[in-house]
């Protein structure tokens, strides 16, 4: 099980981690943005400052086989061995592809994740899922390969624009929904306009702890870890559609819309309380702008859902809730009801 360190002194904690891990050569993976904005915050560390640096293009559209190949190529041509260490410094896209590169290079080298976005901290960097997009499908190729350590420091979050902040926050809403009324209330009560970063740090710590508890019980997603898929079956379909349309939306925005669809289905199939459904809907409506699509896209969205990795025997699999914290995994819905949930999303949020 990977170790998660909530840092209050980035370089001191990084030095501690590097001092405890045996490696023959250190590599740092960044993208064009994190190399400029985030790498300067760790290069004061003597080892990080001398490390070989790999820089790839930013953006989820570059989480592909070409970028992966370029990472493998750099490692191979610059003396990486099975005893080398890769530091993934970036958001969810980068820790996904960096983790997969580490898991597959020479059948596996060690890596650590330093997430620089809220989404990366509460979702992609923790839990051991790695991968790339392939054939137009989100995270189609990947592996379960936990990083040795995840180092989380909220110093990076202060530079996030509102869209990137909200993209990560959607995963925190999801964690609150699958955990307890206390955590759900805390996420929906937080002021997303005037952000209290000290308060946010505690919310992030609590959110990561929810995911850690679930992953520890089910590291390979055979059972309860499927709770973390709430909002993602529909959400990944919206995300894929946005990329195909050439108007990509942030992952968390698509998940927020997916949460609305899947809470609607939860209410229909499992009796999820209507007042909690609408409170969640209103928060998402007030914070997340929409991506245009119409009923002509429904069949395409359904096809994307059918290709989701969670599916079995041709059925579209969902995670539903009968109440906040009461999880119903491996649930299905009729095609008609799925379309009704998309209608509900469009009507309630104004997409």
Q: What is the mean pLDDT of the chain?
A: 93
Fold (topology level) of 3-159: Rossmann fold (3.40.50)
Instruction: Tell me the per-residue pLDDT of 304-335, one tens digit each, with 9 for 90 and over.
Output: 999 876 777 678 999 999 999 999 999 999 99
pLDDT (mean) for 114-127 = 90
Predicted confidence band of residue 3 (pLDDT cuts 50, 70, 90)? confident
SS (H, E, C) the chain: CCEEEECCCHHHHHHHHHHHCCCCCEEEEEEHHHHHHCHHHHCCCHHHHHCEEEEECCCHHHCCHHHHHHHHHHHHHCCCCCCCEEEEEECHHHHHHHHHHHHHHHHCCEEEEEECCHHHHHHHCCCCEEEEEECCEEEEEEEECCCCEEEECHHHHHHCCHHHHHHHHHHHHHHHHHHCHHHHHHHHHCCCCCCCHHHHHHHHHHHHHHHHHHHHHCCCCCCHHHHHHCCHHHHHHHHHHHHHCCCCCCHHHHHHHHHHHHHHHHHHHHCCCHHHHHHHHHHHHHHCCCCCCCHHHHHHHHHHHHCCCCCECCECCEEEEEECCEEEEEECCCHHHHHHHHHHHHHHHCC
Q: Which of 86-100, 145-159, 231-245, 304-318 has the lowest mean pLDDT?
A: 304-318
Instruction: Tell me the per-residue pLDDT of 37-64, one tens digit each, with 9 for 90 and over.
Output: 999 999 989 999 999 999 999 998 899 9
Predicted confidence band of residue 243 (pLDDT cuts 50, 70, 90)? confident
Predicted confidence band of residue 193 (pLDDT cuts 50, 70, 90)? very high
Res 1 pLDDT > 90: no
Give the start-to-end residue ranges of the domains of the chain. 3-159, 162-349
Res 291 pLDDT > 90: no
pLDDT (mean) for 258-281 = 98
pLDDT (mean) for 14-18 = 95
* % of the chain surpassing 90 pLDDT: 81
pLDDT (mean) for 82-101 = 97
pLDDT (mean) for 125-149 = 91
The alpha carbon torsion through 40, 14, 132, 250 (nearest 10 deg) reads -60
What's the pLDDT at 10? 93
What's the pLDDT at 282? 96
Predicted confidence band of residue 104 (pLDDT cuts 50, 70, 90)? very high
Cβ atoms 86, 121 nearer than 8 A: no
pLDDT (mean) for 263-286 = 98
What's the pLDDT at 309? 67
The more confident residue out of 59 and 275 is 275
What CATH architecture applies to the domain 162-349?
Up-down Bundle (1.20)
Res 228 pLDDT > 90: yes
Instruction: Tell me the per-residue pLDDT of 194-216, one tens digit each, with 9 for 90 and over.
Output: 999 888 988 998 999 999 899 99
């Amino acid at each position: 099980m990977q170790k998660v360190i909530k840092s209050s002194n980035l370089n001191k904690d990084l030095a501690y981690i590097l001092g405890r891990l045996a490696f023959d050569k250190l590599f740092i993976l960044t993208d064009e943005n994190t190399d400029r904005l985030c790498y300067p915050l760790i290069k004061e560390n003597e080892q990080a400052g001398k490390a070989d640096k790999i820089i790839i293009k930013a953006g989820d559209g570059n989480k592909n086989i070409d970028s992966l190949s370029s990472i493998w190529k750099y490692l191979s041509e610059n003396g990486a061995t099975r005893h080398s260490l890769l530091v993934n410094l970036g958001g969810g896209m980068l820790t996904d592809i960096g983790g997969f590169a580490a898991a597959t290079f020479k059948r596996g080298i060690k890596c650590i994740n330093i997430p620089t976005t809220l989404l990366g901290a509460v979702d992609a960097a923790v839990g051991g899922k790695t991968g790339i997009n392939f054939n137009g499908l989100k995270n189609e190729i990947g592996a379960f390969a936990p990083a040795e350590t995840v180092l989380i420091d909220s110093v990076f979050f202060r530079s996030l624009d509102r869209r990137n902040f909200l993209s990560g926050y959607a995963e925190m809403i999801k964690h609150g929904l699958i955990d307890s009324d206390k955590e759900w209330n805390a996420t929906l009560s937080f002021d997303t306009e005037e952000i209290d970063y000290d308060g946010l740090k505690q919310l992030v710590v609590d959110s990561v702890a929810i995911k850690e508890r679930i992953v520890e019980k089910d590291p390979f997603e055979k059972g309860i870890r499927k709770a973390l898929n709430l909002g993602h079956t529909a959400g990944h379909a919206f995300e894929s559609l946005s990329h195909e349309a050439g108007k990509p939306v942030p992952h968390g925005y698509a998940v927020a819309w997916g949460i609305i669809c899947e809470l609607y289905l939860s209410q229909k199939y499992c009796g999820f309380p209507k007042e909690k459904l609408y409170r969640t809907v209103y928060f998402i409506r007030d914070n997340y702008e929409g991506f245009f699509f119409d009923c002509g896209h429904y069949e395409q969205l359904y096809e994307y859902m059918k290709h989701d990795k969670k599916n079995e025997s041709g059925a579209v699999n969902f995670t539903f809730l009968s109440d906040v914290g009461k999880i119903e995994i491996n649930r299905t819905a009729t095609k008609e009801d799925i379309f009704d949930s998309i209608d509900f999303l469009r009507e309630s949020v104004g997409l």
